[in-house]
Amino acid sequence: MKNRLIKEFDNIKDEMLSLSKNIHENPELCFDEYKSSNFIKELLKKHNFIIEEKSGGIDTAFKARFKGKEDGPTVAFLAEYDALPEIGHGCGHNLIAAVSTGAAIALSKVMNETNGEIILLGTPAEEGGGGKVILLEKGEFDDIDYSLMAHPSTQALIGRGGLATTGIELVYRGISAHSAAPEQGINALQAVIQTFNMLDSIRAQLPNKTNINGIITSGGKASNIIPDYAACRFSVRTRNFEDLKIVVCKIKNTIKAVEMLTGAKAEIKVGSVYAERYPNLTIGETYKKYMEEQGEKIDYPDPNAKIGSSDIGNVTLKMPAIHAYFKIVDQQIASHSKDFTNASITDKAHESALKTSKALACTAYEILTDKKLREKIQREFKENVPIYESLSLE
Ligand SMILES: [Zn+2]
Ligand SMILES: [Zn+2]
């Protein structure tokens, strides 16, 4: 059966390639991926998937279903397809879309002999919009048992984690005055500057591996006016959600201290949480086996390497899931760069994407058909993944 599955790719690889090229040529920002989501939906419709539009109330999210012979587990392939401002597909999400869509279509061709269901879930706005967080909150993952996806990279990896993260928008309001008589006003910019300085001064007390990066988004209009309004924005990263709660609490206390010191009044908006990631190693090892059968070496990450964050973390809290990395370029280039945009459309990238798609399809097939494997996956999930009551920081 797996040979048949792999053979199916001979029929669909041109469609996968065109899909990747079409999305790459039409980069769309988060929540605005109308063309990209349509390219995927059209292809899935052609292959007899049933499409549910606007999943979770998001215009560019969708769910495409293909039911098997009888009831059984449901495996979803997750497709991302948003791009970045100015640099286009500098994170290579055109390849993610092609890999997941290809795997879903190939697997659909053997579902008349297989129990369960496959879903291609279109998950927009990974780059900052938290598409998967919204889809989780709206229950769009409730009928899914396992989630699979793979991301292009300069390395081929399984088992890489991700940090918990959130964004904080902070506004200070003061009172404007002539700069010749600053004592008559309340300087909102001073409050912003003090916030940055105080956060620097408490760094040593923050949990290990905490990372806070801030920018000033508004700092006054003229140098002869004491600014009555100033604003800044922070990205906060921590090892896990528990640490994130501690750090956000400390930031809020810092802001209170600044209010007291300066007299400015703060308005704080904490964004949604991308949780830390728990990649399921049992699924990862299965995927690794199919990549290695195709001559691709897969590594485990260096535990000291810096890692980022993604809304897949929240999915890994809900169900066994993987977010593997496949190698599309030999040189060390930066993600979120023009170089990566160019690397995401080469023959080498597409060759690697095709192998990855085959491995994901075979992994999903094994999950659908091997009860023992499912038990092992679930056991690992129960042992390793914490249960958080909620991911709220309010
Ligand atoms: Zn990215
Ligand atoms: Zn990405």
Note the pLDDT tens digit of each residue in 46-95. Answer: 999 999 999 999 999 999 999 999 999 999 999 999 999 999 999 999 99
Instruction: Single out the residue of 303, 270, 275, 298 nearest to residue 285, CA to CA.
Output: 298
Closest-lying ligand to the alpha carbon of 335? 1
Q: How confident is the model at residue 128 (pLDDT cuts 50, 70, 90)?
A: confident
Task: Please identify every residue whose CB atom is under 5 Å from ligand 1, which is an ion.
Answer: 91
Which pLDDT belongs to residue 2?
86
- Tokens matching residue 98: 């092609």
Q: What is the whole-number distance in angstroms between the Cα of residue 81 and the centre of ligand 2?
A: 9
pLDDT digits (tens, 9 = 90+) for 304-320: 988 989 999 999 999 99
The distance of Cα 75 from the centroid of its chain, to the nearest Å, equals 18
Task: Name residue, tokens 């990395």.
Answer: 325
Inter-CA distances, 394 with 25, 230, 272, Å: 40, 23, 10
Q: E strands along the chain, which residues?
A: 50-53, 62-67, 74-79, 117-122, 146-153, 164-173, 177-178, 211-218, 225-226, 229-238, 265-270, 321-327
Question: What pTM was computed for the model?
Answer: 0.94
3-class secondary-structure state, position 187: coil
With bands split at pLDDT 50, 70 and 90, how would you rate the model's confidence at 328?
Answer: very high
pLDDT at 150 over 90: yes
* Ligand 2 centroid, distance to 202 Cα (angstroms): 31
pLDDT exceeding 70 applies to what percent of the chain? 100
164-173 sheet: strands from edge to edge: 211-218, 229-238, 164-173, 265-270
265 Cα–ligand 2 center, Å: 37
Going from the Cα of 309 to the center of ligand 1, the distance in angstroms, rounded, reads 9
Distance in Å, CA 336 to ligand 1 centroid: 6
Q: What angle do CA 159, 162, 166 make, to 5 degrees?
A: 165
With vertex at residue 318, the alpha carbon angle to CA 313 and CA 322, rounded to the nearest 5 degrees, is: 50
How many whole angstroms from 266 Cα to the centroid of ligand 2? Answer: 33
pLDDT-derived band at 367, boundaries 50, 70, 90 = very high
Report how far ligand 1's centroid is from the alpha carbon of 345 (Å): 16
Residues 181-233 have pLDDT tens digits of 999 999 999 999 999 999 999 999 999 999 999 999 999 999 999 999 999 99
pLDDT higher than 90, residue 1:
no
Residues contacting 13, CB < 8 A, separation 6+: 102, 354
Please give the C-alpha separations between residue 326 and each of 151, 352, 367, in angstroms, as whole numbers. 6, 7, 21
Region for residue 336 given its phi and psi (left: phi exceeds 0; alpha: psi -120 to 50; beta: otherwise): left
**Per-residue confidence (pLDDT) for residue 394, from 0 to 100:** 81
313 Cα to the center of ligand 1, angstroms: 14
Whether 230 contacts 266, CB under 8 Å: no
pLDDT in tens, 331-362: 999 999 999 999 999 999 999 999 999 999 99
Q: Give the pLDDT mean for 143-157.
A: 98
Helix (H, G, I), strand (E, B) or coil at 316: helix
Contact 393, 272 (CB under 8 A): no
Q: Please tell me the distance from the alpha carbon of residue 125 to that of residue 59, in angstroms, as a whole number.
A: 11
Q: Which residues contact 192 (CB under 8 A, 6 or more apart)?
A: 170, 172, 216, 219, 230, 231, 232
Whole-number Å distance, alpha carbon 363 to ligand 2 midpoint, is: 22
Give the C-alpha separation, 214 to 197, whole Å: 11
Name the closest ligand to CA 80: 2
For residue 194, the CA-to-ligand 2 centroid distance in Å is: 34
* 60 C-alpha to ligand 1 centroid (Å): 18
Q: Are 232 and 195 in contact (CB under 8 A)?
A: yes
**Rounded Cα distance, 102 and 19, in Å:** 10
Q: What is the pLDDT of residue 105?
A: 98
CA of 325 to the centre of ligand 1 (A): 13
Q: Which of 263, 28, 279, 240 is nearest to 146 (CA)?
A: 279
What is the whole-number distance in angstroms between the Cα of residue 326 and the centre of ligand 1? 14
97, exposed or middle or buried, with CB in 10 Å at 0-12, 13-18, 19+?
Answer: buried
248-283 residue pLDDT tens: 999 999 999 999 999 999 999 999 999 999 999 999
Question: Which of 2-6, 36-40, 144-148 is least confident?
Answer: 2-6
Q: Which ligand is nearest to the CA of 93?
A: 2
Give the residue carrying structure tokens 């279109």: 122
Report the separation in Å between the CA atom of 4 and the middle of ligand 2, taken as the mean of its atom positions: 31
Read off the DSSP letter of residue 16.
Answer: H
**Which residues are close to ligand 2, an ion, with C-beta < 5 A?**
91
pLDDT at 149: 98
- The secondary structure of 252-296 as a DSSP string is HHHHHHHHHHH--EEEEEE-PPBPP----HHHHHHHHHHHHHTT-
In contact, 101 and 355? CB cutoff 8 Å: no
**Burial label, 219 (beta-carbon count in 10 A; 0-12, 13-18, 19+):** middle
